[in-house]
Amino acid sequence: MMRSLDIAATGMQAQTNNVETISHNIANMTTTGFKRRRTEFQDLMYQNIRRVGTMSSDTGYRVPAGAQIGLGVRTAAIYRINEQGTLEQTNNDLDLAIEGRGYFRILLPSGEYAYTRDGSFSLSQDGTIVTADGYPLTPNISLPNNAENITIDQTGQVQYTVSGETTSQVAGQIQITTFQNENGLAAMGQNLFTETTSSGDPIVGTPESTGFGTIRQGFLEESAVNAVTEITDLITAQRAYEMNSKAITASDEMLETLTNLK
């Protein structure tokens, strides 16, 4: 069988992965805090027909270039582009956006921690600040049932007043988490990520301190997906897929010619 059939097949598979990644980006154009993904590719191993640098004669002449046939392409990685999304004003007291680096830390039912840029929080039945799925923000912050005028400043300090009083009371301090390698975080769905050995250990700190972003109350971070970029990338991937399919068709026609020789 001609190598070109397998080579072109790897190209079609790679572009299938590319289109799936782009489709995922487009599907999450309105997902709070979503970061677009980009597919990276690597060429596969090579077969040497004539190895470069080998002796071409007994007098010491060497082959200057050689001949190598590449065996195709593979998907090497799918990166998250960690650029800041636009902040959309919602005027909801418990909608929070991180401007700059950092993630909110969430406690999962399993007892493990997860991390998110989605700051659309609510209050649970006992007044605890939780995600849309009911997972509590950590450190745990609770508000009394008569809390009014909830304010969260840029450093993450949560304050409130109660009916009949003017003095603010402190409910707690929001902390955010950064990682040495944010692309090493593993996505688990529900706008959540978990740490891995590649991400490094979590670095917890106070918002607005060195190396950490600031909190914006009444805002949510919009998806960082650019529709024009995604459509352009989609067209490019589609054309690359079609060209690889043409290579398979051409190889098949060449094999047919060989089999019809008499």
- Over residues 252-262, the pLDDT tens digits come to 888 888 888 76
- Tell me the per-residue pLDDT of 229-238, one tens digit each, with 9 for 90 and over: 999 999 999 9
pLDDT digits (tens, 9 = 90+) for 94-136: 999 999 999 999 999 999 999 999 999 999 999 999 999 999 9
Q: What share of the chain is helix, strand, coil (3-state, %, to 5)?
A: 25, 35, 40
pTM: 0.87
Structure confidence by residue, pLDDT tens digits, 202-215: 999 999 999 999 99
